[in-house]
Amino acid sequence: MKMNSPYDLSGVLFFPVTPFAPNGEVDVAALAEHIQRGVASGPGAVFAACGTGEFNALEVGEFETVVRVAVEATAGRVPVFAGCGGSLPQARQFAAAAQRAGAQGLLLLPPYLVSCPPEGLARYVEQVAASTPLPLIVYQRNNAVFTPETALRVARLPNVIGFKDGLGNLDAMQRIVLAVRGGIGDKPFQFFNGMPTAEITQRAYRAIGVPLYSSAVFCFAPEIAKEFYDAVERNDTARVDALLQNFYVPLVELRNKVPGYAVSLVKAAVRLNGIAAGSVRAPLVEPAPKHLERLEQIIAAGRALAGSSAATA
């Protein structure tokens, strides 16, 4: 099977967790099983060692291992993108490690802890992009806030192929989409919704020209994630509303109870599926027992809804 091009992604995008063994090291066997299971469900790409994969908690050697396992586990069926970020020297090191490990592209995460003026942020992207031949998607989130002008500036870089938004300001994002599309000619370029539990906002993003999105849910319930994606694509409002009301909104309400649950709950759900994903690394915390019980109830409701669709198809 011919692999999709990293320049032309489609479908649900899989952001796997990074399993840790009881001794604290990356659990390579569990990671391979997790990715193999996910790829068998048909994602458009694998994004390894990114936000859901606890990029912030990995040193460069561990990161390279995670990316290499992801590349091997996908076996050429879909592109593998790897996280990248931190200080400028660190970002260059992670970019080089991702290339050594065989990644087909990078997701450039925000620099840590510093307030970034748009000019400085553009220079950061330019210097990371110049250090690697890999295609690069720029992630706008937290302290990394672009103007339409700086977004266009980095979009014109030869190996910058996409822009991902995790701010949720649709007015600003619409202006960025228009500026970039109007200023790069026929260069292949993609826009992504990178909000936590992106399904909640995807109809709004799709309306402003952002068709692709991250799906943490795909990690533990690909049948629900794919059912939602298909319903959005065919504009099945009733089906989308049912999935939002009965699964995604309750999941977000649970996620919002504790900072970091956007990762911790996903990892717990992966464990519930029989993958030995281990615990999250500090400063994240494990879900409380009452929240794990609620998580199981929410997943069961979502699966029942997705199953009812399959039964009537």
DSSP 110-133: PPSS----HHHHHHHHHHHHHT--
How much is the pLDDT for 313?
Answer: 45
- Per-residue pLDDT band for 2 (boundaries 50, 70, 90) equals low
Q: What is the mean pLDDT of residues 194-208?
A: 96
Residues sharing a CB contact under 8 Å with residue 169, sequence separation 6 or more, in sequence order: none
How much is the pLDDT for 303?
Answer: 96
How much is the pLDDT for 111?
Answer: 87
How much is the pLDDT for 173?
Answer: 98
Q: What is the mean pLDDT of residues 12-20?
A: 97
Contact assessment for residue 94 and residue 129, using Cβ atoms and an 8 Å cutoff: no
Known catalytic residues? 139, 164
Where is 163: in which H helix or E strand?
strand 160-165
Tens digits of residue pLDDT in 138-192:
999 989 999 999 999 999 999 999 999 999 999 999 999 999 999 999 999 999 9
Chain centroid to Cα 160, Å, comes to 17
Residue with token string 């109870």: 257
Determine how many CB atoms are found less than 10 A away from the CB of residue 137: 24
- Per-residue pLDDT band for 256 (boundaries 50, 70, 90) equals very high
Which amino acid is it at 282? Answer: A
- Per-residue pLDDT band for 3 (boundaries 50, 70, 90) equals low
How much is the pLDDT for 1?
Answer: 44
Q: Is the pLDDT of residue 242 over 50?
A: yes
- Per-residue pLDDT band for 6 (boundaries 50, 70, 90) equals confident
Residues sharing a CB contact under 8 Å with residue 246, sequence separation 6 or more, in sequence order: 301, 302, 305
> pLDDT > 90: what percent of the chain?
92
Q: What is the mean pLDDT of residues 117-137?
A: 97
C-alpha to C-alpha distance for 189 and 147, rounded to whole angstroms: 17
User: Would you tell me the crossing angle of helices 118-130 and 148-155 to the nearest 10 degrees?
Assistant: 10
89 to 62, 77, 126: CA distances (angstroms)? 17, 32, 13
Tokens in use for 82? Answer: 């790897």
Residues sharing a CB contact under 8 Å with residue 301, sequence separation 6 or more, in sequence order: 246, 247, 250
C-alpha to C-alpha distance for 122 and 172, rounded to whole angstroms: 17
C-alpha to C-alpha distance for 106 and 188, rounded to whole angstroms: 16
Which amino acid is it at 63? Answer: F
Between 8 and 212, name the one with better pLDDT.
212
Q: Which of 49, 32, 117, 38 is closest to 85 using CA atoms?
A: 49
How much is the pLDDT for 116?
Answer: 87
Domains recognised in the chain with CATH numbers: 13-221 (3.20.20.70)
* pTM, full prediction: 0.95
Contact assessment for residue 73 and residue 32, using Cβ atoms and an 8 Å cutoff: yes
How much is the pLDDT for 134?
Answer: 98
- Per-residue pLDDT band for 309 (boundaries 50, 70, 90) equals low
Q: Helical H runs in 55-158?
A: 60-74, 88-101, 118-130, 148-155
Tokens in use for 145? Answer: 């806030």
Contact assessment for residue 157 and residue 189, using Cβ atoms and an 8 Å cutoff: no
Residues sharing a CB contact under 8 Å with residue 74, sequence separation 6 or more, in sequence order: 35, 39, 46, 80
Chain centroid to Cα 190, Å, comes to 14
Q: What is the mean pLDDT of residues 223-250?
A: 97
